[in-house]
Amino acid sequence: MTNGRLLCRAMKNIIADRTKLIDASGIRKVFALGATLEDPVNFSIGQPDFDVPEALKEVAIKAIRAGQNSYSQTAGDETLKERIAERVSKAYGWENPAVIVVSGVSGGLLLAFMSLVNPGDEVIVPDPYFVMYKHLVSMLGGKCVFVDSYPDFELPVGKIADAITDKTKMIILNSPCNPTGVVYSEQQVKEIAEIAAKKDVLVLTDEIYESFSYDGECPTIAKYYEKTLVLHGFSKSHAMTGWRLGYVAVPESLKNVVEQMTKIQQYTFVCAPRPFQQAALAALDYDVSDYVDAYRKKRDLLYDGLSGKFEMVKPEGAFYAFIKAPASAGGATEFVEKAIKNNVLIIPGNVFSEKDTHFRISYATTDEKIRQGVEILCSLI
């Protein structure tokens, strides 16, 4: 046997089995591919095309220069936690909520799932879904129960009710939704609250895109159901994607969940980046309405350009559109490959779904690039 084969066998023996349950992100693969293309229309990555506001940069810089570069408390800066708790109390009517500052909502998801999901537990997830839910739950030995929300991507209340079993640990909501851009209605979240209360099931609501709700406020189940974990952050609303800063808030009745998350954070992330926590304090009072207005216009520009040629639901929030691939393409993956060959980076829908019928566009780019991408995609039909 050659040395290469021996090494390969040895590597197979040392890698943990859980790594077989996840795959490299399809989004990152396309993003990496974009680096090899010349000036592509990049509709792939969910990252704002504006920078962190200058005023917030200055707060972070001052914190760094003032020597606030060591660890914070594991659960986060006390002043920041108090401010978040005040906001949560006012928004949801919770008394004495518990808060942990985390390394982005992604970090919050990992800590929450590690604290709650046992092997064999079922987690109900509307399909399409944010890619991370599936892989984190699988890696921890849980099982995602996907509930089809096609073709309109509205919250499938009845199907969720039917999916609950004695193994159900939680229901995941994500509104505004990545990848569909749909915002769940107040009536829908109220109905899920009633179902969850009747079955005594936890709800985790991922509200990272809450600021980007274009046609009115984004209803939250946290107002109607106390047994809820709220995940929020600053990456999208304030363009702090690289600063890795978010938070998880729960009512007092679930404070033990935050205690367990804090314990796990102590041995994993240790704490969220301290100087950026100071910037987050300022971000809580920073008006992002101009950015939201700009992205509403981007949404309209994309929708007006594509809806005549493609079957699509008009996004109501976030900065994504989930569009049905034309039947002539042979499948969504094939259409994505064709688009990439024509210098437009889009993501196949099977990254976010158990189906392969749609593709995702992130319109977090310049208006010029949106127009260019629309023209190219329409020419491919």
Residue-wise DSSP of 68-106: --S---TT--HHHHHHHHHHHHHHH--SS-EEEEESHHH
Task: State residue 330's pLDDT score.
Answer: 81
Task: State residue 371's pLDDT score.
Answer: 98
Task: State residue 181's pLDDT score.
Answer: 98
Crossing angle between the packed helical segments 78-92 and 274-283, to the nearest 10 degrees: 40
Task: State residue 17's pLDDT score.
Answer: 85
Task: State residue 116's pLDDT score.
Answer: 98
Question: What's the chain's Rg over C-alpha atoms?
Answer: 21
Q: What is the rounded CA–CA span in Å between residue 323 and residue 352? A: 12
Helix, strand, or coil here: 116? helix
Domains and CATH numbers, the chain: 3-52+288-379 (3.90.1150.10), 70-283 (3.40.640.10)
Specify burial of residue 253 (Cβ count, 10 A radius: 0-12, 13-18, 19+).
middle
Task: State residue 26's pLDDT score.
Answer: 57
Per-residue pLDDT of the chain (381 residues; tens, 9 = 90+): 566 665 556 556 788 888 887 776 556 666 566 667 788 999 998 899 999 999 999 999 999 999 999 999 999 999 999 999 999 999 999 999 999 999 999 999 999 999 999 999 999 999 999 999 999 999 999 999 999 999 999 999 999 999 999 999 999 999 999 999 999 999 999 999 999 999 999 999 999 999 999 999 999 999 999 999 999 999 999 999 999 999 999 999 999 999 999 999 999 999 999 999 999 999 999 999 999 999 999 999 999 999 999 999 999 999 999 999 998 878 898 999 899 999 999 999 999 999 999 999 999 999 999 999 999 999 998
